[in-house]
Structure 1
């Protein structure tokens, strides 16, 4: 990371005046504040445990911490924005005070939660709804001038996990990205990150196809975030638990990095860090660059 300058290239993000260079992939560590997330529910939903976990994520190599006050797994408890804000409390500002170099991403589909998070010091908005669950989200994102993670998802909260068999999943996701990024850019959101939405309303077959075609998503105009950590489309076909698929997940991480993914959203930061380092080392060997 470096201080803000006048030139921002297509592989950078302006996070509250800090320029984040994405020429090397970044790791986003997941910090769930929820009691009902599918693999770590209830572990970090108080200030002490949340800050301790944030410290661990940073030590293991995360540069971004993604704070989630609400679970979006199937059949999860639905929270209002007010309830999200109450659950977050002072956790964002405390992490910022303790670890000022850490970038904080806030995982919410509510504009009011974003406003609260912005005042507490967040650096990135991570909206799983693509602005579809709150009509004020895009406007609020533009007002904050923060980078915005645009995820592909079905149009409503109630249908977000309904499995759809797309005629061409990559084409459908790109059409969605094209429409939404046009809206965002017109409203003044300049830093957009694309998330294909693994685990949301897609068949196993379509998700595997997407993994093979990551390089075509967004036509190279925007950085890509990939979030496949502990997702059921990986562990269920293997008859394994979400905590028992690290080897398979890292192989898939390697695959998406080779296709240009810039951010990996993960639970297991240390393992993902090794994968990123292997990817970068392989690139240096191929290019003949010194270590």
Structure 2
């Protein structure tokens, strides 16, 4: 267990902007320098890397690769949420997780581990295994016990904008103003969380979930207006179809375009990039840090 005084440090120069610090099991993590979150899917059916890391040995190896390339957070996902993915119960998620979290913690004690789930029971399991952050794509809407469970763990919570049910999460809705709609949603949900004592909240605009290409490009252009700088922003656009489909490319062939968008959101204050391709994102982050330090 890490001591309360242990703080994640970086050799990069500080950014002259308001900082956000989150408490991860007593470990104070300063998001003044944006962080890279590497994706570790334990799934056989994720759309771009399904079946590659769904056993403990390969998962541990990939976690090491992500950390070596520059990730400071590993986002462990036991269930795919791509369109038409297999729906798993919490029990099935826990079975799939097995000893992966505790093994990563043992092998890489410096790593922060985020658990990607919309189930309260999976969160409880992950908490006992040593997770540092809860990443809930449902905004507490798919399990009514989620917010109370988050409050009990006292861990940072990633709040994503998404449609109100699992069945409709990918149904594309028409928004008069996507930024206004997201801020209304975030305002309501963060108030609920704050009232329950959850203070470390990270906002995720929900790229790839029930939004048109046009709305998602508007989100990229105006991401600085989301949350009114009250909470840190996580941006997850890695291998998303709103980038590759209009270009007639595949999910694995849009690195250049993705890094340009990463740079755009970093310039607007994004604090966490959730990515598959860590090495490429680290180059972008370093270029961003160099640009603001000169």
Provide the TM-score with structure 2 as the length reference: 0.95
- Tell me, yes or no, if the aligned pair for 1:131 and 1:137 is still in contact at 8 Å: yes
User: Does structure 2 conserve the Cα–Cα contact (< 8 Å) formed by 1:30 and 1:267?
Assistant: yes
Mapped contact 1:196–1:226 kept (Cα < 8 A): yes
Q: Decide which of 121, 126, 140 is 1:117's aligned counterpart.
A: 126
Residue in 1 that maps onto 2:272: 263
Query: Offset of 1:3 from its aligned partner?
Result: 5.8
Confirm or deny: 8 A CA contact 1:33 1:70 kept in the other structure: yes
Runs of 4+ in 1 over 3 A off after TM superposition: 2-5
Aligned equivalents of 2:3, 2:222: Cα separation in 1: 34
2:276 is aligned with 1:241: no
The answer to whether 1:33 aligns with 2:42 is yes
Of 154, 159, 171, the residue aligned with 1:145 is 154
SS at match of 2:167: coil
SS at match of 2:203: strand
CA contact (8 A) 2:36 2:72 kept: yes
Which of 201, 208, 211 is equivalent to 2:220? 211
- Whether the aligned pair in 2 keeps the contact of 1:3 and 1:19 (CA below 8 Å) is no
Match of 2:4 in 1: 4
Determine if contact 1:253/1:275 at 8 Å carries over to the other structure.
yes
Q: What corresponds to 1:163 in structure 2? A: 172
- The answer to whether the 8 Å contact 2:75/2:116 transfers is yes
Distance 2:180 2:287 in 1: 31
Partner of 2:283: 274
Figure out how many residues of one structure are paired with residues of the other and give that number: 283
Preserved contact between residue 10 and residue 222 of structure 1 (Cα < 8 Å): no
Cα shift at 1:4: 3.4
Aligned partners of 1:10 and 1:221 also within 8 Å: no
Residue 189 (structure 1) aligned to one of 182, 187, 198: 198
Q: Deviations over 1:64-88 (max 9, x none)?
A: 0000000000000000000000000
* 1:79-114 deviations in Å (ceiling 9; x for gaps): 000000000000000000000010000000000000
What residue ranges of structure 2 are gaps of 5+ in the alignment?
6-17
User: Can you give the 5+ residue segments of structure 1 that lack an aligned partner in the other structure?
Assistant: 286-291
CA distance in 1, matches of 2:50, 2:123: 22
Cα deviation for residue 38 of structure 1 reads 0.2
Distance 1:178 1:189 in 2: 14
Partner of 1:224: 233
Once the two structures are superposed, what CA deviation does each residue of 1:114-172 show, in whole Å capped at 9, x if it has no partner?
A: 00000000000000000000000000000000000000000000000000110000000
- TM-score w.r.t. the length of structure 1 is 0.96
> What are the superposed Cα offsets for residues 186-237 of structure 1, whole Å, 9 maximum, x if unpaired?
0010100000000000000000000000000000000000000000000000
1:10 deviates by: 5.4
Q: Within 5 A, what are the aligned runs for 1:73-152?
A: 73-152=82-161
- Counterpart CA distance in 2 for 1:144 and 1:48 is 28
C-alpha contact 1:199 1:233 (8 A) present in aligned 2? yes
- Distance in 1 (CA, whole Å) between partners of 2:183 and 2:222 is 11
